[in-house]
Amino acid sequence: MIRRRSLLWYACLLGITAGLLSLSLCSCSREEGTPTTPTTPARQSLQLLATYSLSVTEPSGLAYSPLLQRLYMISDNRAEIFTIDTMGRVLGSIPVAGSDIEGVAVSPTGDTLYIVEETPSRVLTVLMTGAIVDSMTVQVRTDPKHALEGITIGYAGHRVVINEKTPTMLVEFSGKTELQRLTLSYATDLSDICYDAGGDCYWILSDESQKVMKISRSGAMMGEWSTTAQQGEGIALIGNRVYIVSDVDAKLFVYAKP
């Protein structure tokens, strides 16, 4: 009788131990299978190096010609393309018969300018004399008040334009043939764009979100930084510097390129 009780007690003990082991294994299995949510790094700020006042009011698009070593800038209230140095001093201007001009780009050969007209949603090809030799309409806007805002010369000499909002979109062209369009939902608006040949990516400025975004050619976010420029409307890269013009303050901001 005593031996039978001992065997029963030993069997119960084995059953409890097995049960506890089973619960432990199940718990481990659940913990290992729980998905983790990736954390997004906090947005950092661009390091401000210098600020220069501009004599041109309401500056908008900005572009740099490595060949000519000068910046080209647009003004919202004057139908001219201004050439400025890296301290914001005006070197000259090119009158152009455009309307509602917002963005500017320079050809790799330095002999042609491309500007975007917002309300007509057109890209104009302009010689250095100011003569318009070609135009191309871009069908992307849904609201004429929020249409084309910026342009850059990208990979393989392709023209790349951005639409301000509704939709916030990038459209790439080879000549007049559309290659792709990408909806960019990383900001509430898009103000200007600059192609970085060294990184094979775009730097895009947002006025409303007050930030700069580094975007791959496929549209993926590679990084973003806050800026101190209020109502930034133009962006250009020169070496290890980022240049941004502020519409409301009429200033040129110089930042260290991250």
Say what the pTM is: 0.84
pLDDT at position 42: 65
Give the model's pLDDT for residue 34: 34
Question: Comparing C-alpha atoms, which of 101, 64, 67 is closest to residue 84?
Answer: 64
Listed by start position, the domains of the chain span: 1-31, 47-256
What CATH number labels 47-256?
2.120.10.30
Regions in the chain scoring below 50 on pLDDT: 1-40
Tell me which amino acid residue 119 is: T
Tell me, what's the pLDDT at 31? 36
CA distance 24 to 26: 5
The DSSP string of 168-198 is -EEEEEETTEEEEEEE--SSS---EEEEETT
pLDDT per residue as tens digits for the range 138-164: 999 999 899 999 999 999 999 999 999
The burial class, CB within 10 Å (0-12 / 13-18 / 19+), for 233 is buried
Give the strands of the sheet with 251-256, arranged side by side.
Answer: 48-53, 251-256, 241-246, 232-238
Tell me which amino acid residue 24 is.
S
CA-CA distance, 191 to 162, in Å (whole number)? 8
